[in-house]
Structures are given as structure tokens and as C-alpha cells.
């Protein structure tokens, strides 16, 4: 089963996810994280520049962006923790790859939070 763009965007039931091969599940993980980063990354960088240009309103927007980036970083860090727990119980390369993808997302959003924080100081 090849995954299309519409497959990546839709909500998946637990039974459907259990029916995917480990490779397909890893590909789905990669594509979802890639799309989210491609959307939220530039949006958060734009928020950084807005926070620099709009005075007090910009600072409020910057803090909202910082909070959003921090929540995304923590969300992905928890995902890494959960995937590592699964990896201990079911060691395989696919779970390790999925953990790496989610860890990269956590680092990405954490770095964006740091950039936003540095702009607000």
C-alpha cells in the first residue's frame, strides 16, 4: 500500500495504523513531521520578526509564539520518551528510526523556542 498526500493528512484509526507495515508507519511519521515543520517553522520565524517590529503588540505575539513552540517541543519530547519505552519492549530499527524523527522534531521546535526567547529579551 503506497501512501498518498491525502493519506498523510487524514485521521487514522487504531486498526488502520496496526495494519500498516513498520516501514509504512515510519514513512507516515516522517511525512507528518516534515509537513508540520514546513508549516510551523516559517510561521514561527515570521512571529519572531513581527515581535521585533511591532513594539508591545509584537512582544505579546512573540510570547504567544514562544509558548506555542515550547508546547510543540515538549509534546515531541514526550513522544520520544514513549517511543523509547516501546523500543525497549520491541527493539527494532523502525522504532529507533521513528524515535529519531520525533527527536529531530523536538529539537527543531526547541531551537525555534530559543530563537523566539532570544528575540524577546
Residue 67 included in any domain = yes
Residue 41 included in any domain = yes
Residue 18 included in any domain = no
Q: How many domains does the chain have?
A: 1
pLDDT (0 to 100) of residue 4? 65
Residue 43 included in any domain = yes
Residue 12 included in any domain = no
- Is 45 buried (19+), middle (13-18) or exposed (0-12) by CB count in 10 A? middle
Residue 115 included in any domain = yes
Residue 17 included in any domain = no
Q: What is the pLDDT of residues 52-85, one digit of tens each?
A: 888 888 888 888 888 989 998 998 889 888 888 8
What DSSP string describes 36-82? HHHHHHHHHHHHHHHHHHSHHHHHHHHHHHHHHHHHHHHHHHHHHHH
Prediction pTM value: 0.79
Share of the chain above pLDDT 90, in %: 3
Q: Which has more pLDDT, 1 or 82?
A: 82
Range of the domain at 80: 24-120
Residue 15 included in any domain = no
Asked if the model's pLDDT at residue 1 lies above 70, the reply is no
Amino acid at each position: 500500500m503506497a501512501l498518498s498526500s491525502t493519506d498523510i493528512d487524514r485521521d487514522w484509526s487504531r486498526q488502520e495504523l496496526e495494519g500498516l507495515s513498520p516501514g509504512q508507519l515510519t514513512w507516515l511519521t516522517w511525512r507528518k513531521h516534515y509537513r508540520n515543520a514546513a508549516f510551523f517553522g516559517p510561521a514561527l520565524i515570521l512571529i519572531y520578526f513581527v515581535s521585533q517590529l511591532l513594539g508591545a503588540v509584537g512582544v505579546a505575539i512573540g510570547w504567544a509564539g514562544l509558548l506555542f513552540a515550547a508546547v510543540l517541543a515538549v509534546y515531541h519530547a514526550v513522544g520520544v520518551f514513549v517511543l523509547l519505552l516501546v523500543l525497549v519492549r520491541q527493539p527494532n530499527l523502525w522504532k529507533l528510526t521513528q524515535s529519531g524523527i520525533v527527536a529531530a522534531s523536538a529539537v527543531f521546535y526547541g531551537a525555534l523556542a530559543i530563537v523566539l526567547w532570544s528575540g524577546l529579551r
